Amino acid sequence: MIHFDEMACLLYLEGQLDPQRAKELETHVEECPTCSNLLHALQTETTHLSAALTEDNEPIPARIIGERTRRLPVWIWSLAFGAFAAFSYWVWVDGLSPFFDPLSNAGFGGTDLFTMIVFNGAFWEGWGDMMDAMQIGALILVAVVAIVWIRRRLRRPVAVAVVMSALLLAVALPQRASAADVRRGRSIIIPAGEVIHNDLVAAGPSVRIDGTVDGDVIAFTRNLTVTGHVTGDVIGFAGVTLIDGTVDGNVRVISRNIMLQGEIGKNLSTISNSLDLSSKANVGGGAIALAADGDLDGKIQHDFLGLIGRGDIEGLIGGEAWIRGGSLTVESTGEIRGPATFEGPQQPDVESGAKLASPFRTEITQDIRRNRRTAARSVVRGLFGYVAAVAVGIFLLLVFPGFFRAALREADSIGLPIGVGALALITGAFLLLIGMLLLFIGVGAGVAGALAYAPILYVAQVFVGAWLGNKIMGAAPADSSAALNAWITRLAVGLLILRILSFIPVLGSFVWLAVLLWGTGAVLLGFYKMSRLESMPVPV
């Protein structure tokens, strides 16, 4: 007897055999136990295969069904937040507060967190010591990225691109540094007569360049002194900076005190507590300075842009001058060859003999100290702020309900959004500042980038408020259109409680700090989730 082969049996079972052959097979099977058994065995195999494949054997990931992902235990986030709070306090006491008061005179020290952390933080002496911690952090980051990369292997192209970029960046950074002459030590001195034909990266308590560096100098130090010759740029993060030699390129320095007595070929950008441009100093290009105290006795050949608490001009500004600050004096020897603008609480003091291309255009700003708000005014102001925040919340609820829910759901995790918010605010602001300082992105783009934070910071309170309202009054119904009033009530109650808390001295500041970090993190995570889900409505 000629049997049907396995292929024919399978095709028969799958309904793929042509009718005539199927008929033949059926007839044959009735008489042939071998083929009948094979058919039965194949059918059993099909059944088992289907069952194994369709069996619901593992849970659907939360990410797919839109539920909240599993969270780390609350205590980890609490611990992380506690550590962050302690760190902030330490930075504040040891690093920031000594510079806080003089800077507020310049009109930008004030009480806003952005200025406090970013601008004042730049003067912190401990940055040099932080480098070690940063390096260890970078190493851990690279290790984590590598582990994730290996574990997930070649996942999506975008993920691969991101991971590869991170690895390349991490690898490229030390390579670039090693291409330069890297020196570390307690006291780094390039003696007179020595020539380094390379970029110099120096880190240590004291860096002194008496010789010649034929390249850029990047220094992380307490004391940076340049009496020799640098053919490239000088980029410094220092406690005290003295430039008495010649720099052919740009000088970009964040330092507590800066003294310039030499020749700078190109531009000057500084952030400092005090800036002293001595009469011997000559800046070939323009200058941007941010300082509590600025004495400009030397020459700046092009424009000058300054945020200076107390300014004194005895030298030359070759181009336009725009200065904002507490007070400004132009001494009899001072000269400004371009248009001059001053923004401050009083008219600038221009001594006779001073040469100005045109009179100062002055804009009088209100002196914060003389214009203390009364309690009544602050209540009215708080009330307006409250109404505005509720209005913004309602607007978001009506116009972007998907985003509102996504951000609110993220706010519910508490720890994660606070961590993300802190990270985004501090690192983002720091990167912007560095970018502006080194003019990678330019001042305009930097300011625009910083302003992009503003709406996020503002709506942060809305989500924390809504979360609080939900906690107090119970979760609002999922369908926002049917229960809009319930949502608005919860929003209003939550925001009201936040406003009242903010009136409590000391505690109020901490409340706002937490709201800022928490809400910002929720907004950013909400954006992320929304973009990830491509605006799919997420089940509530």
- Considering the complex, state which of residue 65 and residue 380 has its C-beta at the smaller distance from other proteins: 65
Q: Which span sits near other proteins by CB under 8 A: 62-70, 362-370, 470-478, 489-497?
A: 62-70
Cβ at position 43, least distance to other proteins in Å: 10
Cβ at position 179, least distance to other proteins in Å: 35
- Considering the complex, state which of residue 6 and residue 132 has its C-beta at the smaller distance from other proteins: 6
| Cα–Cα distance, 264 to 262 (Å, whole number) | 7
Do you know the residue count of the chain? 540
Cβ at position 491, least distance to other proteins in Å: 22
Q: Which amino acid is at 389?
A: A
Cβ at position 162, least distance to other proteins in Å: 13
61 near other proteins, rule: CB under 8 A: yes
- Considering the complex, state which of residue 5 and residue 363 has its C-beta at the smaller distance from other proteins: 5
- Considering the complex, state which of residue 46 and residue 187 has its C-beta at the smaller distance from other proteins: 46
Report which DSSP code applies to 479: -
- Considering the complex, state which of residue 497 and residue 538 has its C-beta at the smaller distance from other proteins: 538
Q: Which span sits near other proteins by CB under 8 A: 5-13, 88-96, 243-251, 286-294?
A: 5-13
Tell the residue number behind the tokens 């980890």, with chain if given: 76
Q: Which amino acid is at 160?
A: V
- DSSP-based three-state secondary structure for 430: helix
**x-or-dash pattern for other proteins, window 396-435, by CB under 8 A?**
------x---------------------------------
Q: Which amino acid is at 278?
A: S
Residue 356 host element (H or E): strand 355-356
Q: Residue 213: name the closest of 265, 239, 248, 185 by CA.
A: 248
**x-or-dash pattern for other proteins, window 158-197, by CB under 8 A?**
-x--------------------------------------
Cβ at position 63, least distance to other proteins in Å: 6
- Considering the complex, state which of residue 10 and residue 170 has its C-beta at the smaller distance from other proteins: 10
7 near other proteins, rule: CB under 8 A: yes
Residue of 19, 31, 70, 153 that binds other proteins (CB under 8 A): 153
Q: Residue 9: name the closest of 45, 31, 36, 48 by CA.
A: 36
- Considering the complex, state which of residue 402 and residue 435 has its C-beta at the smaller distance from other proteins: 402
Tell the residue number behind the tokens 């100062």, with chain if given: 360
Beta-carbon contacts of 387 under 8 Å, excluding residues fewer than 6 positions away, are none
41 near other proteins, rule: CB under 8 A: yes
Cβ at position 539, least distance to other proteins in Å: 6
Bridge partners (DSSP) of residue 275 are 258, 294
Residues 20-39 that bind other proteins (CB under 8 A): 34, 37-38
Q: Which amino acid is at 403?
A: F
Cβ at position 125, least distance to other proteins in Å: 45
Residue of 6, 30, 101, 349 that binds other proteins (CB under 8 A): 6
Residue 80 host element (H or E): helix 74-90
Residue of 60, 150, 482, 506 that binds other proteins (CB under 8 A): 60
Contact 468, 518 (CB under 8 A): no
Cβ at position 51, least distance to other proteins in Å: 6
57 near other proteins, rule: CB under 8 A: yes
Binding residues with other proteins: total (CB under 8 A): 49
Cβ at position 146, least distance to other proteins in Å: 16
56 near other proteins, rule: CB under 8 A: yes
Residues 497-536 that bind other proteins (CB under 8 A): 532-536
Q: Residue 225: name the closest of 198, 274, 197, 187 by CA.
A: 187
Residue of 42, 85, 431, 501 that binds other proteins (CB under 8 A): 42
| Cα–Cα distance, 290 to 308 (Å, whole number) | 6
Q: Residue 344: name the closest of 108, 112, 118, 114 by CA.
A: 108
3-state percent helix, strand, coil for the chain, nearest multiple of 5? 50, 20, 25
Tell the residue number behind the tokens 């069904």, with chain if given: 65
Q: Residue 187: name the closest of 209, 164, 155 by CA.
A: 209
CA distances from 450 to 142, 380, 413, 469 (A): 28, 28, 27, 30
Cβ at position 34, least distance to other proteins in Å: 7
| Cα–Cα distance, 46 to 227 (Å, whole number) | 85
- Considering the complex, state which of residue 34 and residue 346 has its C-beta at the smaller distance from other proteins: 34
Q: Residue 251: name the closest of 238, 265, 239, 272 by CA.
A: 265
Contact 119, 100 (CB under 8 A): no
Residue of 63, 361, 369, 373 that binds other proteins (CB under 8 A): 63
The pair of structure tokens assigned to 1 is 């007897």
Residue of 21, 26, 30, 50 that binds other proteins (CB under 8 A): 50
Report which DSSP code applies to 211: S
List of residues contacting other proteins (CB under 8 A): 5-7, 10-11, 14, 16, 34, 37-38, 40-42, 44-46, 48-58, 60-61, 63-66, 152-157, 159, 402, 532-539
